[in-house]
Amino acid sequence: MTAKVVTGQMARALAARLTVHGYDVWFPPGSDPAVFKVTSLPGAPDVEVCAEDDGSASCLYTGRTRAEAAKVIGRLPVPGHPQIQAITADTLTATWDGVAVEWHYFPPENKAADQEKLANHLLAHLGILRDRDQLHRPDQ
């Protein structure tokens, strides 16, 4: 199997797991089979998930403004400073660059990628993005 087939299969498995949890996903036609969009988050932010052939994955959120991106980075478990990275077990969380927040999952060194663990980490990260507006509502 080629790397594209493997990453495409991983992306489809991740996408299926997300849909079970109520997320809408979309594979843009003609694009890399390892890349899909999550289209059901409040405010319709641009969120792209990419599976890699080494078992890692990334989630890229692009906000419309720095203030919108700041709301997202403020929810993540790292200080809200640009270029801050935090390694927690096998997950590297959040690099902020302008209006972009980038999240990465890396499998533990010298171990095969655990698709279940990857999906759980991704769901937790998307949960933060999903709930970002809940904390900033004026009625609370």
Q: CATH no. for residue 69?
A: 3.30.1460
Q: What is the mean pLDDT of residues 10-29?
A: 93
**Residues 22-53: pLDDT tens digits?**
999 999 998 899 999 999 887 778 899 999 87
Evaluate whether residue 39 is within a structural domain: yes
**Residues 94-116: pLDDT tens digits?**
666 778 888 888 877 767 667 88
140: pLDDT confidence band, cut at 50, 70 and 90? very low
Evaluate whether residue 69 is within a structural domain: yes
Evaluate whether residue 121 is within a structural domain: yes
Evaluate whether residue 15 is within a structural domain: yes
Q: What is the mean pLDDT of residues 68-73?
A: 74
Are the beta carbons of 27 and 15 closer than 8 angstroms?
Answer: yes
Return the H-helix or E-strand segment holding 91: strand 91-97
Nearest partner of 57 among 103, 96, 2, judged by Cα:
103
* Tokens of residue 100, six digits: 């972009």
**pLDDT score recorded for residue 1:** 42
Evaluate whether residue 139 is within a structural domain: no
Contacts of 18 (CB under 8 A, 6+ apart): 25, 38, 119, 122, 123, 126
Q: What's the domain range around 92?
A: 3-132
Measured between alpha carbons, how far is 2 from 48 in angstroms, rounded to an integer? 22
Q: How many domains does the chain have?
A: 1
Facing residues of 103 across strands?
A: 59
First vs last C-alpha separation in the chain: 52
Measured between alpha carbons, how far is 87 from 11 in angstroms, rounded to an integer? 23
Q: What is the mean pLDDT of residues 60-67?
A: 84
